[in-house]
Structure 1
Amino acid sequence: MLSLQEISDRLEIQDLMVRYSHAVDTRQWDLLDDVFTADAHIDYSAMGGATGDLAATKKFLADVMPNFPAFQHLISNSSITVDGDTATGRTMCHNPMVLPGDNGEQSLMMCGLWYLDTFVRVDGAWRIKTRVEEKSYMYIAPATPGMG
């Protein structure tokens, strides 16, 4: 049976991951300062992205994400293990991204991945210390003429 503390920790960690998705999907990169630890290591390489610290990750996102007119990070199926002030998690992410095309046509890139995270409690709040993406699939649905 889960203790009330573990239930609270799991809910706080799930909320943290939702705040990550919100920060990225609303292009508010500075919100990530309250999601990751100051010394976080983030590895997006499995899906073709950058690897680095928080500052490098924010720069990467700010440089790359404006190339996509729209996107969403949908997270689910979190498996979280809490051990005191540390935790690990494996969370599914479905990330559809609109790709601009010629003549105003758009196509849809669908990315399926898992976030492999380590979390730490910092001053009473959970933060992501390491995040590594694990690829499941990437598929680009071709543009349909007249569907821009």
Structure 2
Amino acid sequence: MSDMLQDRLDIEKALRHYAIGLDERRWEEWDLAFAPEAAIDFTPMGGKRETPDEMRARLSKPDPAWLFAQHPLYNTVIELDGDTATAFSHYQMETGRRGDAEGEIIRISGGGAYEDTLVRTAAGWRITERKVFMKWKETRRVKDEVTRG
């Protein structure tokens, strides 16, 4: 396999570590996505800029209403430049929280794009900056059709 193809595969792997770590609250995966000096910038969608550690601390707080999240990535385009790279990906998000009524879920669906800057480190490719853009969002109340233990 060519070095360029391996770099692209390793960059996509780093991008997916973010999604899996976030959605499953598997912070050991999350750590594989980021360089130590990284930032996640939600300001393009009205949020704030924070470090991965700050975001993890915020999302690690107990939240009995939280049920699930998924952030699949697609349409990823990667530009390599030696030991740095940029990536653009579309994402779709689905999150679910317990509603006020028995068996109700507040479901938030949305989609947007990530613009990432990455660097090659001794441990592999890592994100140094992620800008998050939202293109659409819908919130609705639905019946929970999954049996939960």
One-letter code of the match for 1:138? K
The C-alpha deviation readout for 1:32-67, integer Å capped at 9, x for no partner, is 222101110111344554421222121122238764
Residue equivalent to 2:94: 96
Q: Is the 8 A contact 1:50 1:60 kept in 2?
A: no
Distance 1:55 1:98, change over 3 A: same
Question: In the TM superposition, what is the alpha-carbon distance from 1:22 to its structure 2 partner?
Answer: 1.2
Q: TM-score, structure 1 length as denominator?
A: 0.85
Aligned partner of residue 63 in structure 1, secondary structure? coil
The residue aligned with 2:31 is 33
- Deviation string for 1:62-111 (max 9, x for gaps)? 23876421111111110110111000011111011113211121132102
3-state SS of paired residue (1:102): coil
Please point out which of 53, 60, 63 is paired with 2:61.
63
Instruction: Name the counterpart of 2:22.
Output: 24
Which ranges in structure 1 are unaligned for 5 or more consecutive residues? none
Larger strand proportion of the pair = 2
Distance 1:74 1:83, change over 3 A: same
Paired residues for 1:69-108 under 5 Å? 69-104=67-102, 105-108=104-107
The root-mean-square deviation of aligned C-alpha atoms, in Å, is 2.1
Moved over 6 A (4+): none
Cα 1:65–1:134 change in 2 (3 A) is farther
What's the counterpart of residue 137 of structure 2? 138
| Structure 2 counterpart of 1:12, one-letter code | D
What residue number does 2:122 align with? 123
TM-score in terms of structure 2 length: 0.85
As a proportion of its length, which structure holds more helix? 1
Q: CA separation of 1:69/1:26 partners in 2, compared to 1, >3 Å: closer, same or farther?
A: same
Contact kept, 8 Å, 1:29 with 1:62, in 2: the verdict is no
The separation in 2 between residues aligned to 1:91 and 1:136, in whole angstroms, is 13
